[in-house]
Structure 1
Amino acid sequence: MSETQTQLTTDTWIPASWQEYLQTLTELQTEKGKSYYYKGYMRLEMPPVSFDHGNDHVVIIFAVTLFATLRGIFATGLDTTTFRKTGVQDCQPDVAYYLGENAQVIPNGTGIVNLDRYPAPDLVIEIANTSLLDDLGTKRSLYEELGVAEYWVVDVQNAQIIAYAMADQGSKRIQESQVLPGLVIAILEEALRRSRQMNQSQVGAWLLSQFQPQQR
């Protein structure tokens, strides 16, 4: 596999050994993009990030963190962090959360999160603008095998969220989060739709009104 060939082959899964994958990361400096490794294949994603992708990314992080804060759920969110099982799997999801008793399981000063030492995140979120089919397919299988408890795919073009609960290397669709009890997926979708017409502060105020306990 030549360096030139690797540079041209992005946004698709291509055969590679673990060592070829690591060498490619070094050559291409993919801290500017995202990279995945699964079952002898690697995937590099280095396109420009659209406004809509960036907007949904921020709205979702704000919504999850706000909900966890108001409900007293311990949470640590991570943005495009590398999770690795050496020689086997590697991923850089858009967003990941450790929740509850896992919220402080990763110590400060950690670089790449070694999943042979630490648990997988409780929640992984991919923001899908051009990568929807892959996020719903191969990446979902990757996260099932890693032991992620819940996985969301944000469909940017349609302002929708496809959410899955994961267990025993399988997954099923859900309409309410199981790792964030009481968080209804439809509320998050409405926040995404509102963000097309409002600024994020206005969306945040609306989310606050939805998440706060109703006064009787």
Structure 2
Amino acid sequence: MSETQTQLPTDTWIHASWDEYLQAIANLLDDKAKSYYYKGHRRLEMPPVSFDHGQDHVLIIFAVTLFATLQGISATGLDRTTFRKIGVQDCQPDIAYYLRERAQSIPAGTGIVNLNCYPTPDLVIEIAKSFLFDNLGTKRCLYEELGVAEYWVVDVQNTQIIAYAVADQGSKRIQESQVLPKLAIATLEEALRRSREINQSEVGVWLLSQFQQKQADKTV
């Protein structure tokens, strides 16, 4: 085991060139670790191990996919995929979605998604058990500059979702998704709260009833 491998600092932004960043991620012992590069700084994150983080991660993917399916919105969800602008930016959000005409914009067999060739995701989601303010601050700026349409941060400890609509390299808080119209952030937050008391299948039944009502409202 090399000295570089054992002493890589994690969970903080470190000044680094692009080449130094690539060397750092090549030396990561755990290939499940996440990595970011923004404005000449790198950040390495060890994979979360908490039950609540993993539970919320799965529930949000289920909820978004279910809603899109019931509303007839084409959707492709991605779990911890690398999105890269070579030499400039790199990120591995917990969850990302391509929607509607973009749902099939990334061909099968793609490894790292080169954002110089492919579009940015419509929706990016970070699940924050720790480092909440980093997700609300530096990472939000990163995703604003990448040009995602919407960015959510799931605050695991407080079962809260801080959602932003992104435009013109800036963002504003929203209470209803703009990329998934009629999806109320409050509904997802209630699902997170319920998941602390009942199992995910039961939460899924509740979500289905809520979303079916939205579907009924759509047809009226």
Q: TM-score, normalised by structure 1?
A: 0.96
Aligned mates of 2:33, 2:6 — CA distance in 1: 17
Q: How far does residue 5 in structure 1 lie from its aligned partner after superposition? A: 7.5
- 2:206 partner SS: helix
Equivalent position of 1:64 in the other structure:
64
Report if the CA contact (8 A) 2:97-2:121 is conserved: yes
Equivalent position of 2:189 in the other structure:
189
Report if the CA contact (8 A) 2:5-2:28 is conserved: no
Report if the CA contact (8 A) 2:35-2:42 is conserved: yes
Aligned mates of 1:29, 1:74 — CA distance in 2: 37
Aligned mates of 1:29, 1:87 — CA distance in 2: 23
Aligned mates of 1:107, 1:44 — CA distance in 2: 27
Equivalent position of 1:210 in the other structure:
210
CA offsets, 1:95-144, max 9 Å, x none? 00000110000000100000000110000000001020100000000000
Equivalent position of 2:17 in the other structure:
17
Equivalent position of 1:97 in the other structure:
97
Report if the CA contact (8 A) 2:32-2:47 is conserved: no
Report if the CA contact (8 A) 2:5-2:27 is conserved: no
Aligned mates of 1:29, 1:85 — CA distance in 2: 24
- 1:182 partner SS: coil
Q: How does 1:115-126 map to 2 (within 5 A)?
A: 115-126=115-126
Report if the CA contact (8 A) 1:38-1:142 is conserved: yes
Equivalent position of 2:53 in the other structure:
53
More displaced stretch, 182-191 vs 23-32: 23-32
% same residue: 76
- 1:72 partner SS: coil
Q: How far does residue 49 in structure 1 lie from its aligned partner after superposition? A: 2.0
Report if the CA contact (8 A) 1:120-1:148 is conserved: yes
User: Which residue identity does 2:170 align to in structure 1?
Assistant: G
Report if the CA contact (8 A) 1:6-1:24 is conserved: no
Aligned mates of 2:211, 2:96 — CA distance in 1: 21
Q: How far does residue 11 in structure 1 lie from its aligned partner after superposition? A: 0.5
Q: How far does residue 27 in structure 1 lie from its aligned partner after superposition? A: 1.1
Where do 4+ consecutive residues of structure 1 move more than 4 Å?
none
Aligned mates of 1:208, 1:47 — CA distance in 2: 30
- 2:52 partner SS: helix
Aligned mates of 2:194, 2:61 — CA distance in 1: 15
Aligned mates of 1:4, 1:102 — CA distance in 2: 38
RMSD, aligned α-carbons: 1.4
User: Which residue identity does 1:90 align to in structure 2?
Assistant: D
Q: How far does residue 48 in structure 1 lie from its aligned partner after superposition? A: 3.8
User: Which residue identity does 1:198 align to in structure 2?
Assistant: I
Aligned mates of 1:140, 1:181 — CA distance in 2: 22
Aligned mates of 1:4, 1:211 — CA distance in 2: 47
Residue 75 (structure 1) aligned with residue 75 (structure 2): yes
Report if the CA contact (8 A) 2:5-2:29 is conserved: no
The 3 A distance-change label for structure 1 pair 56 and 120 is same
Aligned mates of 1:14, 1:184 — CA distance in 2: 37
- 1:125 partner SS: strand
Structure 1 segments unaligned to the other structure (5+ residues) = none
Q: TM-score, normalised by structure 2?
A: 0.94
